[in-house]
Structure 1
């Protein structure tokens, strides 16, 4: 079962401002990436359901995190249906992230009081997700949907919406400033932060450095 409550996860997302998003078929690579992120200050990490036996890797990762990174909130992303959500919840997921809005996933997560962040692209979808109990809504693909301007437009009539853009978010000050000025709850960041080159070269020290800088940049842009 989850180690952290849905409220704890939502608050930590807001506190740190960033959720790294990552998948790899090798558990050791996942461990190294998570360790680098944790050392840099990350406390909410999304492992994506992108390959065969991904849930088995995730289960190992949860055990490792609980033993070595006690403050890490580890969730599963790219979850599109209820059975898959249940599988990851049973494996210890602290939260579930979806690229789509599927009410069946909401039912499973709500029954176990697991935080669920569904993927939405319209204000009607966002409203429906909140009606179904989503505390944080994922905008995906964020840049293609409309970027920071789109988030700012949503926050006009719906200032209560907590939005996490994923897709197109970059660890650069100008980009992060635009997103947080628009009013995002936090940002999801995948290959723009954890690049294929860093993984191929196994340069986890560089990943830690880039992640720490990104978190510091988020704190900086929020302060202004």
Structure 2
């Protein structure tokens, strides 16, 4: 899947499941639930040591049904391993010039965490495809997007935290490009995840 195809899927779906999972069986349950509800963009966090194996298995099992990426990538070594495992995008909690260069080299979208306008500009100049509003999404909520886009309307923003079924529409109205969601799409049974995913998709489809 080419870089432009990955980004097009992410922008079109407008939502991404943020997944921290220890076993492949649980990963299958989460993914099946998300897909049943119409969500196919999945981030697998490298907070778990077997994240690369899980990415590889999911990529092998689901192919282009999923747009699967690696999260919590702190260095270029991890980024390269994630890409070799099948990650189609790389997300970091902070901007790294080395990770940005590696992702650009292999034409993989890079989405680093930024907390200030200075960091956002630096990340964009370093080739970031989107900026992840982290950890500030939780603190400021939907109004954060408008704050960023008023002086820099061209910045693609991925939120991370702070989104609920009740305020999803506000994130969209304020111009967020993709909403990262954790618990709603990772907790409970496959059926519960599917129901949450359907509700999220229904809200987003009305905006």
Structure 2 residue 59 is the aligned partner of structure 1 residue 62: yes
Root-mean-square deviation over aligned CA pairs: 1.3
- Map residues 81-96 of structure 1 onto 2, 5 A cutoff: 81-96=75-90
TM normalised by structure 1 equals 0.88
Which residue of structure 2 aligns with residue 154 of structure 1?
148
Which residue of structure 1 aligns with residue 198 of structure 2?
212
TM-superposed deviation, 1:40: 1.5
Q: 2:158 aligns with which of 142, 156, 164?
A: 164
- Map residues 32-111 of structure 1 onto 2, 5 A cutoff: 32-66=29-63, 70-111=64-105
Give the distance between the partners of 1:114 and 1:143, measured in 2 at CA.
24
Structure 2 residue 132 is the aligned partner of structure 1 residue 135: no
TM-superposed deviation, 1:71: 2.6
Q: 1:176 aligns with which of 168, 178, 201?
A: 168
**Partner deviation per Cα, 1:136-177 (whole Å, 9 max, x = no partner):** 11111243452222210111110101101102222x1x3111
Secondary structure of the structure 2 residue equivalent to 1:118: strand
The aligned length equals 207
Q: 1:194 aligns with which of 183, 186, 195?
A: 186
TM normalised by structure 2 equals 0.95
Give the distance between the partners of 2:169 and 2:199, measured in 1 at CA.
14
